[in-house]
Structure 1
Amino acid sequence: MMADSLVKNKHLLWRAGFGIGINQIDDLKNKNIKTLMNELFKQDSFTEVNYDTPDTDPTADYMNSNAPAEKKKEMQRINREQNNELNLNFLDKMVNSKEQMREKMAFFWHGHFASRVLNPKFNRQLLNTIRKNALGNFKDLLFEVSQSPAMLNFLNNQQNKKDHPNENFAREVMELFTMGRGNYTEKDVREGARAFTGWSYDKEGNFKERKNLHDEGTKTFLGKTGNFSGADVLNIILEQKSTSQFITTKIYKFFVNENVDKDIVDKLSTGFYNSGYDIKKLMTEIFSSSWFYDQKNIGNRIKSPVELMAGIMRVLPMHIQNPENLIVYQKLLGQMLLYPPNVSGWPNGKSWIDSSTLMLRLQVPQIWSGLRPLEYSPRQDDDIDMGMKSRETALNKTFKNPNITIDWDRVDKIFTSKKCEDYLIQNSKSLDMNTVNSFSDKSIKMTVINLMSTPEYQLM
């Protein structure tokens, strides 16, 4: 069953972006889907996500084992501040950028090419590489990510030297970034690792091939034999149709439905491979297809914590006095930008919901509106605090409200003569408005807050 135009437009805005912006509500019912797609795919001249906190003094060796403890502490503080700024500036792009598809695709790749390093300069470089190439060519994206210091550091490739190959980087490139398990052998991992020997970077974060550490011997990789370099190995991986199949399947699960329609994915995958891995072409085909708007694909995905937060921030015009406290919510809900739990990135779907996170998710609209305090500490099982459980208590003690002021007058004007649920809930047929209204004083403000506090609002 096909959806009507408002439902289709809402669906597209959530999947190809971070939901409806307050300024899109008025003409959303009448907007043509092609016009909306053009707006979502719009790409202006690229601007990087950055931080303002000054870098540390380049002449001082803070991390030298002989450096005084205060200097190391200062270095760690500056790193933390810069990483927090990157985090919040990336979130700000998701909320406010007109280039919604670029930022949504970057968010997807950010979880796909997951890395976790403390160096903010390396984090900034990888994040902007992903954003710049988000809708470009997968080959360019794969090469630039694979040669980024963040990824080479995270996957230990600076320890990958001839005579002592480290297989970590080669294995994850094949298993997680390109082909997926079952499409290569352990011998391919060993031979691939030999090809990547010597791939490293300098202090400034420039990629370096250290020839003296590279294994010049003949290698046999995925059925081909030669004196392969790391670049040769990536090119051979891209020749495999299993690479296109793996990436297309992952994109389908993220943007369409976790239950894969094999026939559709096979067709998309063939097109992706034949286009030479043109990401924009693949995404255009997905969002232009009638099956994308089938009822079974609408309101079937649980929003990730970042999607939930960005969606609320897009539809409620707000001034945030202490934005750094938004990072606390990311931690509590289990998805902190630039800080994936491991090299596989974040799991999706039902893994976002457990007894502690569901309660907080349902209460965020009330907390941000100043109607209730925050009374939570991070999940016991998360490793965001890297085993330092004492920080959980510290987090609660130092927590301050983000101090959010919401322009409810503007929300009132926008939603006057509109049914709030038609715009805020993806599948409003499943919603019992009598129950929502029974908690409300019938004002638009309370109706919006109560709608955002329903289980239905968790779905997109």
Structure 2
Amino acid sequence: MNNSIQIKHLHARAGFGIRFNELHDQQNWSVKKAVKKLFEASEKTEPLAAIDENIDLRFKPLMQNDGEKRALQEERNRQERLLNEGWLKQLSETDAQLREKMTLFWHNHFSCNIGNAKYQQDLNNIERANALGNFKTLLLQVSQSPAMLQFLNNQQNQKGHPNENFARELMELFTLGRGHYTEQDIKQSARAFTGFAFNGKTGLYAFNPRVHDDGPKTFFGQTGNFTGEDILNIITANKQTAVYLCTKLYRYFVNEVPDINHINQMADVFYKADYEIKPVLEYMFLSDWFYEDKNRGNLIKSPVELLVGLNRQFYITYQNPDVLLQFQRTLGQVLFRPPNVAGWPGGRNWIDSSSLMYRMKIPSTILNAGVIDFAGKATPEDEAYLASQKKQRFNIINRVQAVPDWNKFLNEIPLDTSHLQIAEFLLQPKLNNVIIDEVNKSTDIKAVAIQVISTPEYQLC
């Protein structure tokens, strides 16, 4: 049985796409085997290691003159670029696609934006190490990470002066969702998290008993001298946490429109597995509904998914990695720089009239210096447009400095493959008549690829 449609869909969602030769090799696999192989490829964790120094440990505020402050800020900016480039490279090259795709999910779920690249990298590695592990372990480690403690002000959360930022976002964004707790629960929870702190001299988590409020607290109807760990246990004992997380997973992997029955099935699996992440993902990827027509080619790629998918498909190298940062800024998703504590809203929010124009232009900019070779007789407007584009071509090549490996891409495609088959492979949605007409007129595979990835349909996965 040819399962290529299902396997292509699985890789588009559980990873960043599949290459032509891989799909050809796997087309007669069962879906169960394809899912098993995805997990096997992601068993090992490769930590991100772009940053090796914590600049804050060098920081001596009272001894700084303007020159030192400037130098420190330049070093911060340099580290931030290295971190961004390092993760984008890892996303584009790793075989552990599912682990990185889930790390991207947790990166947005535990949204964090601070000016310390080492703390951000450490949080990212916590998310990566636990991406397919246990959510309760992940939640505790995130709660104790210097990045999150700093971002949500738990460093300032002390007995007698509770800071409620972390306690509020823990329930609203990380576990239960809005409407499933009271203001009183937030106040009592904040008291329990006093003492969760990191040492400014070592940059490591170190519980501070001196500032911890060890008095009795009443949280979700239970009373005790609760610590932060106790609060996390009470929250995860509430099945609403499993429902909330499975709703987010469903919207990330399946469909923007939640299906309550499917989400409840996922939540049952997740809750019974004591928040082990692998069983709920396996359940989802092996469900018939995951592969239904209405759930294929219906999600808008995030900017990072778009760029990583191109990098992987066409083996792109960048002589000037800063260009990738510029693309992220233009498209509205810079890794490690979410807009706020709620993260990127995703879905249809990725697209507006200007960003769609940029999105459709970026693939041809990377692969062909901005030129889309449309077949057939061009209109006068098209000819003028293409002439102006060709004039700019040299400038684009100099500026973007992106080199796709066309030979590698083309060598993976059997000689008897039709242009329509290539178009079908590159797109998740079904081909429409406009695309079919253009593809049929094309003279070579390279032209087909550039045309297809410059369509609005390529923005969907």
Matched, 1:169 2:129: no
Find the counterpart in structure 1 of residue 423 from structure 2.
421
Matched, 1:144 2:136: no
Would you say the 8 A contact 1:25–1:414 is kept in 2?
A: no
Matched, 1:84 2:73: no
Residues 170 and 369 (structure 1), Cα distance of their counterparts in 2 relative to 1, 3 Å cut: same
Would you say the 8 A contact 1:198–1:210 is kept in 2?
A: yes
TM-superposed CA distance for 1:401, in Å, is 2.9
Matched, 1:354 2:352: yes
Deviations 1:164-195 (A, max 9, x none): 11111000000000000111000000000111
Distance 1:19 1:325 in 2: 22
Matched, 1:216 2:218: no
TM-superposed CA distance for 1:430, in Å, is 3.5
Distance 1:311 1:431 in 2: 25
Segments of structure 2 that go 5 or more residues without pairing to the other structure are 372-394
TM-superposed CA distance for 1:52, in Å, is 5.5
Find the counterpart in structure 1 of residue 245 from structure 2.
247
TM-superposed CA distance for 1:332, in Å, is 0.6
Moved more, 285-294 or 415-424: 415-424
Segments of structure 1 that go 5 or more residues without pairing to the other structure are 374-396
Find the counterpart in structure 1 of residue 17 from structure 2.
19
Matched, 1:444 2:442: no
Q: For 2:403, what is the secondary structure of its paired residue?
A: strand
Find the counterpart in structure 1 of residue 327 from structure 2.
329
Would you say the 8 A contact 2:2–2:27 is kept in 1?
A: no
Residues 178 and 52 (structure 1), Cα distance of their counterparts in 2 relative to 1, 3 Å cut: closer
Moved more, 237-246 or 412-421: 412-421
- What one-letter code is carried by the residue in structure 1 that aligns with 2:16? F
Q: For 2:115, what is the secondary structure of its paired residue?
A: coil
TM-superposed CA distance for 1:32, in Å, is 3.0
Alignment of 1:13-162 (within 5 A): 13-21=11-19, 24-42=22-40, 43-51=42-50, 60-62=58-60, 64-162=61-159
Distance 1:442 1:50 in 2: 44
Find the counterpart in structure 2 of residue 196 from structure 1.
193
Deviations 1:333-360 (A, max 9, x none): 0001111000001111111011111001
Distance 2:54 2:140 in 1: 28
Q: For 1:207, what is the secondary structure of its paired residue?
A: coil
Residues 357 and 130 (structure 1), Cα distance of their counterparts in 2 relative to 1, 3 Å cut: same
- CA RMSD, 1 decimal: 2.2
Distance 2:455 2:341 in 1: 33
Percent of paired sites with the same residue: 42
- What one-letter code is carried by the residue in structure 2 that aligns with 1:19? G
Would you say the 8 A contact 1:7–1:426 is kept in 2?
A: no
Deviations 1:44-88 (A, max 9, x none): 432210126766595x535x1541122112112222222222222
Q: For 2:218, what is the secondary structure of its paired residue?
A: strand
Distance 2:72 2:437 in 1: 52
TM-superposed CA distance for 1:26, in Å, is 3.5
- What one-letter code is carried by the residue in structure 1 that aligns with 2:48? V
- What one-letter code is carried by the residue in structure 2 that aligns with 1:450? Q
Distance 1:194 1:4 in 2: 58
Q: For 1:83, what is the secondary structure of its paired residue?
A: helix
Deviations 1:250-274 (A, max 9, x none): 1111111111111111121011111
Find the counterpart in structure 2 of residue 289 from structure 1.
287
TM-superposed CA distance for 1:372, in Å, is 2.2
Moved more, 206-215 or 163-172: 206-215
Residues 4 and 29 (structure 1), Cα distance of their counterparts in 2 relative to 1, 3 Å cut: closer
Moved more, 263-272 or 293-302: 263-272
Moved more, 317-326 or 137-146: 317-326
Deviations 1:71-119 (A, max 9, x none): 1121122222222222222122222111111010111010000000111
Deviations 1:121-175 (A, max 9, x none): 1011000000000000000000000110100100011111111111110000000
Distance 1:68 1:300 in 2: 54
- What one-letter code is carried by the residue in structure 2 that aligns with 1:128? N
Distance 2:333 2:296 in 1: 23
Matched, 1:456 2:453: no
- What one-letter code is carried by the residue in structure 1 that aligns with 2:401? N
Q: For 2:269, what is the secondary structure of its paired residue?
A: helix
Distance 2:314 2:407 in 1: 11
Distance 1:153 1:196 in 2: 13
Residues 52 and 23 (structure 1), Cα distance of their counterparts in 2 relative to 1, 3 Å cut: farther
Distance 2:81 2:73 in 1: 12
Find the counterpart in structure 1 of residue 392 from structure 2.
none
The partner residue of 2:278 within 280, 285, 295 is 280
- What one-letter code is carried by the residue in structure 1 that aligns with 2:327? Y
Find the counterpart in structure 2 of residue 406 from structure 1.
404
Q: For 2:101, what is the secondary structure of its paired residue?
A: helix
Runs of 4 or more, structure 1, over 4 Å off, are 52-58
Q: For 1:102, what is the secondary structure of its paired residue?
A: helix
Distance 2:398 2:216 in 1: 59
